[in-house]
Amino acid sequence: MGNCSFCGKPAGLFRKQHPQCVALRDAGWTEMVEISKQAAVGRGSVDNLEGRLVTKARASFVPETGVRTAQVAGWEAAVDHLLEDGSLDKQEEAALVAFQRRFSLSQDDLDRRGAYSRVLKGAIIRDLLEGKIPQRVTVSSQLPFNFQKNEQLIYLFPTVEYLEDRTRTQYFGGYQGVSVRVMKGVYYRVGGFRGNPVGRTERLHVDSGPLAVTTKHLYFGGPRKSFRVRHDKIVTFIPYTDGVGIIRDAATAKPQVFVTGDGWFAYNLLANVSQLGAGV
């Protein structure tokens, strides 16, 4: 008969934990995350938060090392709550930043599930809606792009898949014809025709690489294909769940699609950057 891993008392035959101890631990953890969430959204004090979390952890069989984990989980839950409407106002961003700084939570801590990146994206969209040029992204490595003078980087997608629509022509209804022997070794084919051409459009993966959005252009750089497009030369933005497509201002232009993994942000980013008028 083993002892409960939480309270240390006999747990019963073939048991390592009391169900009530597990329930107490789970309820305590949930409350710790909720307390942290309320503080991160600005509805609770951060001054005595750590002490409250330690007290709750001790009373709920949660190891004290879980206090920091609860703070991170609470911050992530706050982000989910604040971004339910797709936007993040200045007051909400300030509360999140204050919580992060108060408990020295790193970007790596907060971005393990993408929460930090979502806050950054929400703030960038807010800046654009206010007619401001976002200055929130810094890149430490060398980019494979030759930015023009006074051109500013707004956002960088480190790796995207680039797709193009291409039309392939096939012929249907053709007839081989009949070969008629004219003389030894010489034949003449009669009655053959190629058939009717039918075009079929396919979306093909062309390359993968970084996608940079600046105040003037959209840049893509892959090992096989690289190009830039002026914002004012894009006539249509096509939203997808996992990316965005563009159609250039050309008579024969076809969709060019970038799979970014976040279609909502990519579409709103490009559509709003084009409204800045920086590409004119």
What is the rounded CA–CA span in Å between residue 165 and residue 49? 54
How much is the pLDDT for 182?
55
Residue 47 burial by Cβ neighbours in a 10 Å radius (0-12, 13-18, 19+) = exposed
How much is the pLDDT for 280?
40
How much is the pLDDT for 166?
83
- Phi-psi group of 88: left, alpha or beta (phi > 0 → left; psi -120 to 50 → alpha; rest → beta): beta
pLDDT > 70 fraction of the chain, expressed in percent and rounded? 87
Which tops the pLDDT comparison, 192 or 272?
A: 272
Task: Choose the weakest-confidence range: 106-120, 134-148, 205-219.
Answer: 134-148
How much is the pLDDT for 69?
97
User: What residue spans define the domains of the chain?
Assistant: 2-129, 153-274
Band (pLDDT 50/70/90 cuts) for residue 278 is: very low
Band (pLDDT 50/70/90 cuts) for residue 13 is: confident
The percent of the chain in helix, strand and coil, each rounded to the nearest 5, is 35, 30, 35
How much is the pLDDT for 45?
84
For residue 13, what are the contacts with CB-CB under 8 A and spacing of at least 6?
A: 1
Query: Looking at the predicted structure, is the pLDDT value of residue 172 above 70?
Result: no
Residue range 153-274 in CATH 2.30.29.30: yes
Which tops the pLDDT comparison, 25 or 45?
A: 25
Contact 246, 236 (CB under 8 A): yes
